[in-house]
Structure 1
Amino acid sequence: METKTVLVTGGNAGIGYFVAEQLAARGATVVIGSRSAAKAEAALGSIRAQVPGARVRHVPLDLADLPSLKASADALELSRLDAVVHNAGVYLDGPQRRETAAGHELTFGTNHLGHFALTHWLAPLLAGGGRIVTTGSFTAKRAELDFDDLQNQNDYEPKRAYARSKLAQMLFGFELDRRLRAAGSSAISVVTHPGGALDSLTPSRPPVHVRKPGLSPAGLLLQGKDAGAWPAVHAVLEPGVEGGQLWGPRMLGMRGRPHLETARGRLADPEAAARVWAASVELTGVDPFA
């Protein structure tokens, strides 16, 4: 990876931080996309402490602000990007529905529409064989999109809005690869999910994360966010990874080493994926790799 450059959205915290740290440990130049310069600097300092000589830097990135995304892509100052890990996202726990400046429901607008539009602006950098890795969630497998209410105006509930946004992201990742293959592109799109990744099982990386002492029985079934990063890192690094694949943890999809999964149910619905794509073009005004 010593000649590779990877952008990790939301690489300042959570799973994204460990994706960035692990890629840096493999020699990649890692760019952390974050809207908070202070949090990004803390993450960069932690990575450098864990990985002496790490090549890491920050680029401002606010996925909820669609008009700013071209400037974020330009700020990379690159002629080629080897991979982007679409990891950043919001998970709201309050009952109040919130919107982006453009009027999109905040969870859907950030987690899905922001990454959809960012891919458009990164497309020229990724066209030469780059990898677009979309981090979904196992909660998406139980979600169902309402195409008459993608913005969750009629039945907003935070957990449901999050699951729907992740389903939209994963369908986008699969549809993107279908379109890349149809166009004869050498770029590939891969979808991953981290399984069950908890803060309480995650090793400390102060000041980014400090683990509280004590044992958690959840460790028998789930894992920390460091392990939750493995599927995305695998999708970036491994030469045998192919476009359109889904990677998650090996043990029941919840913990363990990366494992190739079969997309089933709603994740395997190309008609729904095409509808998500069309709606996303309409809502963002851009069309990735068009």
Structure 2
Amino acid sequence: MSHWDVHHLPRADGKTFLVTGGNAGIGYFAAEQLAGTGATVLLGSRDAAKADAAMTSIRSLVPDAKLAHLPLDLSDLSSVKSSVDSLEAGRLDAVVCNAGVLLENQPRRETAEGHELTFATNHLGHFVLVHHLMPLLEAADAGRVVTTGSFVGKSAELDLDDLQSKRDHQPKRTYARSKLAQMLFAFELDRRLRAAGSTVLSVVDHPGGALDSLTPARPAHPAPERRKFPAGLLLQGKEAGAWPAVRAVLDPAVRGGEMYGPRVFGLRGEPRREPVRGKLADTELAARVWAASVGLTGVEVTQ
């Protein structure tokens, strides 16, 4: 595979990309980098003020950026269809399923629909979103679903009888399980898309070890307290954490079912393709997660 230059991205004029959680963190930097390619970038966010601040910040660095806010609350599954219906686009070239929550030091919380909040936001909301976006992705020449997983999700253990963490809720473990479910969904999605003869690709990325304290300041994100040596040798900032997702969206050499992450031990550095192995390659587990997701949401993504 040819060298990928994170600082000289290919042009994407005329294309439209949606980044969920595009107003903050890794999602913000993915939106900023994609905006620099000439594409139209939609920031999926439930907070209009934060989305406006992010767009102002991006335009301070990319003056001709084509940006818009898509009101989107992934924790409210019943609202996702109306958000997609509000899109004024005949096609969508890629969606970056990036938005997520980690409720540290908080008790278990449920959405109005009775789903555990972390699992609903990180996984079920994206499952429903992709279902409703599929006609727009199919209308593109080669649409892509890019799912941002997590390094910690690779080593998580799923309890298929307790996906909602009713019996044993620990915030960080619940988060890791939700990210593993997301990644398994993305790989299963690509298998189903290939079987259906679809032109849409499903690709997984993860940001490695991306810390606020190593992230450059932006107008929408003041400079954080800097972390000293040796964190910078092992980890990276969130602008670099966005590189794998951006490559998964733009690189014409990317194929469905692949995974991209940082080059150095999967924790930092330029994005490269990673082997898919262990639980992530467990097709039976992925199919069971898919079936459970259909049962919890009532939607079937590739129908």
Q: TM-score band, normalised by the shorter chain?
A: over 0.9
Report what 1:271 is aligned to: 284
Report what 1:236 is aligned to: 249
Work out whether residues 136 and 191 of structure 1, in 8 Å CA contact, stay in contact via their aligned partners in 2: yes
Work out whether residues 109 and 117 of structure 2, in 8 Å CA contact, stay in contact via their aligned partners in 1: yes
* 1:145-192, Cα deviation, whole Å (9 max, x unpaired): 101101000010000000000000000000000000000000000000
Paired residues, number: 290
SS at match of 1:64: coil
Amino acid at match of 1:267: L
Report what 2:66 is aligned to: 55
Question: Any unmatched runs of 5+ in structure 2?
Answer: 1-11
* 1:246-269, Cα deviation, whole Å (9 max, x unpaired): 100000000011111111111110
Q: 1:224 aligns with which of 227, 237, 244?
A: 237
Work out whether residues 192 and 248 of structure 1, in 8 Å CA contact, stay in contact via their aligned partners in 2: yes
Q: Identity percentage over the alignment?
A: 68
Question: Any unmatched runs of 5+ in structure 1?
Answer: none
Q: Does 1:168 align with 2:181?
A: yes
Report what 2:3 is aligned to: none
Work out whether residues 12 and 208 of structure 1, in 8 Å CA contact, stay in contact via their aligned partners in 2: no
CA distance in 1, matches of 2:298, 2:222: 37
Work out whether residues 32 and 58 of structure 2, in 8 Å CA contact, stay in contact via their aligned partners in 1: yes
Q: Which moved more, 1:210-219 or 1:223-232?
A: 210-219
Work out whether residues 214 and 227 of structure 2, in 8 Å CA contact, stay in contact via their aligned partners in 1: no
Amino acid at match of 1:167: L
* 1:213-251, Cα deviation, whole Å (9 max, x unpaired): 564420010000000000000000000000000100000
CA distance in 2, matches of 1:53, 1:262: 37
Distance 1:26 1:115, change over 3 A: same
Q: Does 1:142 align with 2:145?
A: no
Amino acid at match of 1:15: I
Please report the TM-score for the alignment, with normalisation by the length of structure 2. 0.94
Please report the RMSD computed on the Cα atoms of aligned residues, expressed in angstroms.
Answer: 0.9
Q: 1:81 aligns with which of 78, 92, 98?
A: 92
Report what 2:196 is aligned to: 183
CA distance in 1, matches of 2:177, 2:249: 25
Q: 2:168 aligns with which of 155, 161, 174?
A: 155
Q: Does 1:101 align with 2:112?
A: yes
